[in-house]
Amino acid sequence: MNVILFGPPGCGKGTQARRLEDRFNTIQLSTGDMLRAEVASGSEIGRKAKAVMDAGHLVPDGVMIAMIANRIDQPDCKNGFLLDGFPRTTAQARALDEMLAEQGLRLDHVIEITIDAAVLAERLAGRFNCARCGAVYHDKFQRPKVDGVCDVCGSSTGFTRRVDDKADTVKARLKAYDEQTAPLLPYYQAREVLRRVDGMGSIDEVTRQLEAILEQA
Ligand code: AP5
């Protein structure tokens, strides 16, 4: 099952993808996480991407397309994948179609997590991640069960906040989404693969809506 989770920064793509992986024996492919790993490793891609990401802009298509082409070729993608953060431009969407066609794969669903723009700033301002496994938390909506300890990996080594979750950068990221990524929705609607879930409910409620769609696949 190959699925795109679609929606603006902070709508819940990463949170939901991580919850769905085990249940559907699939794998989350987060281009944001891949880029942050490149930045952390100090690679050439990471050095070039860092300034772009910190400004809230999109990393060039060529870099992203090569990254995903290489990733979906790996053995752990054989049962399918949940794309989180890709495609983000028309060029990326077309390249994904070509990659899938070359491998005889199909896109089962593109699921847009819809959300009121007014709540995104609060979602992103309160986000923090486990420094060890990357699990996503929120100051108000998703606190660890035990303060200072990650629910997922049990680490108490600390939590981090993303540099690009600062208010000014969030504005630039939302602009990039509106101008370059949201225009992809009609592309997928025309192919009759686009589904929508209401991202305004609780995290559990959104998971239930997604599960209902994926169970039909
Ligand atoms: P990326 O990491 O992909 O960021 P994004 O798309 O902006 O999405 P986020 O990770 O910010 O949000 P999310 O929807 O996953 O929300 P989350 O689940 O964390 O990309 C970062 C940068 O990398 C880009 O700006 C760009 O520079 C570059 N990049 C990446 N991919 C690229 C590409 N393909 N092309 C070019 N450039 C690329 O949830 C947010 C918070 O809300 C969390 O704290 C969570 O706990 C909370 N929350 C989630 N759901 C709920 C809920 N239902 N109720 C209450 N709280 C909730």
Atom of ligand 1 nearest to the CA of 68: 34
Atom of ligand 1 nearest to the CA of 206: 53
Whole-model pTM? 0.96
Query: In this predicted model, what pLDDT tens digit does every residue of 46-69 receive, in sequence order?
Result: 999 999 999 999 999 999 999 999
**Which residues have CB under 8 Å from 127's CB, separation 6+?**
10, 136, 137, 138, 161, 162, 165
Residues with CB under 6 A from ligand 1: 7, 9-15, 31-32, 35, 52-53, 56-59, 64, 85-86, 88, 92, 123, 126-127, 136-138, 141-142, 164, 173, 199, 202-203, 206
Residue that is written with structure tokens 């990471």 in the block: 46
Query: In this predicted model, what pLDDT tens digit does every residue of 107-133 receive, in sequence order?
Result: 999 999 999 998 999 999 999 999 999
**Which residues have CB under 8 Å from 186's CB, separation 6+?**
none
Going from the Cα of 14 to the center of ligand 1, the distance in angstroms, rounded, reads 6
The pLDDT-based confidence of 216 (bands split at 50, 70, 90) is confident
Q: Is the pLDDT of residue 217 over 90?
A: no
Known active-site residue 208: no
CA distance 213 to 196: 9
Structure tokens at 85: 């953060």
Tell me which residue has its CA closest to atom 51 in ligand 1: 203
